[in-house]
Amino acid sequence: MILWIIYAQPSIYPINTMSLTLSQRLSLKRFTKGEEAHAGSITLNHRRIFILPSKGGLALAMVILLMLVASINYNNSMGFVFTFLLAAVSQASTLYSFRNLSGLNVSLAKAPPCYAGSMGHIKLYITENNNRNRWTIHASHLHKQTNFDLVGDTSLLVNLPVKLKTRGWYSPKTITLSTQFPFGFFRAWSPLRFNEPILVYPSPIDFETTLSISQDSDHLDGSSSPLTGTDDFAGLKPYQQGENYRHINWKALAAEKGFYSNVFSAEQSTQTWLDWQACTQLSIEDKLSQLCFWVLRCEKKGTEYGLRLPKIELTPNHGARHQHACLKALALYGS
């Protein structure tokens, strides 16, 4: 009887210094889910790569067994030659399956925040440092699969789609790299887990709740406000990163005078507060979705806005950083 074994050739690549106990080494979870989540990059070595015969490999084993029985029964020397040659070739293919994954350096690139209910992407950064060609490698996550090749000393960014259902931090599940190169008789795989969560904002939904606008009492006398408004042109100021691009003074830029933004004065300055109490008729998740919609609408219009949540208050401002701060507060509310 032919024994099919997991290939365990000693590796020249560094091994994780953290040793595993016998129960951890033989744990079924290690073969299917991988080891503990890792925050940095992972180099694939013989400790992380596993090999078992595929369906085609099991069929080949049956063919070899039948050839061996027939050769013994008829005492056919040529039958023995072809039987053992086929067995040797199939066993040697485990080496090439192992080498197709061995030495790859894998890490997760920082993924941008997404909205609940949308399709996000896990960005897998794979580097080949041994000047070897890698063929027909599969990267999978939650039954979503992407195929890729690596030629020589190259790096590749692989996107794995994932459905983000709830707000907050999303921790990717096990990411599996696998290959059946070269003949498809064996499947080599490496389950990996990373500690790189993705921030998921609430889904922006408008429930047609009235948005309240509060006026600053210091400017109710009709005097011009020092706050940025949209009524009369008041001058120029140096452009700051995150300001609305519609306020850029393109004439000054074209005249090579520098990067400036327009400043306007308003007769009665108003501050838009996105208040938790304005959504009293909605559930908690619906409130967060409504506030998220208001944040995006105010930012699109270039309005300065603040956010009030229970025990949290963000003063009025605008720009990409302020928008992210507000949406992050909504995403992590109650966490």
Cα–Cα distance between 55 and 151 in angstroms, integer? 28
Strand-strand pairing, 198-201 and 114-115: parallel
Taking a C-beta distance cutoff of 8 angstroms, is the pair 300, 206 a contact? no
CA-to-CA separations, 236 to 109, 223, 240, 254, in angstroms, rounded: 39, 20, 12, 15
Quote the CA–CA distance of 297 and 134 in Å, as a whole number.
47
Alpha-carbon distance of 108 to 42, in angstroms, equals 10
Taking the C-alpha atoms of residue 120 and residue 163, their distance in angstroms, rounded to an integer, is: 6
Rounded CA-CA distance 110/332 in Å is: 18
Buried b (16+ CB within 10 A) or exposed e, 164-190: beebbebebebbbbbbbbebbbbbbbb
Asked if residue 154 lies in contact with residue 126, where contact means CB atoms within 8 angstroms, the answer is no
Position 6 scores a pLDDT of: 39
> How far is residue 273's CA from residue 312's CA, in Å, rounded to a whole number?
13
DSSP 212: P
Q: Tell whether the torsion through CA atoms of 193, 157, 9 and 50 is positive or negative.
A: positive
| Single pTM value for the model | 0.73
Paired tokens of 53: 């015969």
- Pairwise CA distance, residues 72 & 67, whole Å: 9
Q: What pLDDT is recorded for position 328?
A: 96
> pLDDT below 50 — which residues of the chain?
1-17, 215-230, 266-269
pLDDT of 329 reads 96
Instruction: State phi, psi for 298 to the nearest 5 degrees.
Output: -65, -40
The whole-number pLDDT of residue 215 equals 47
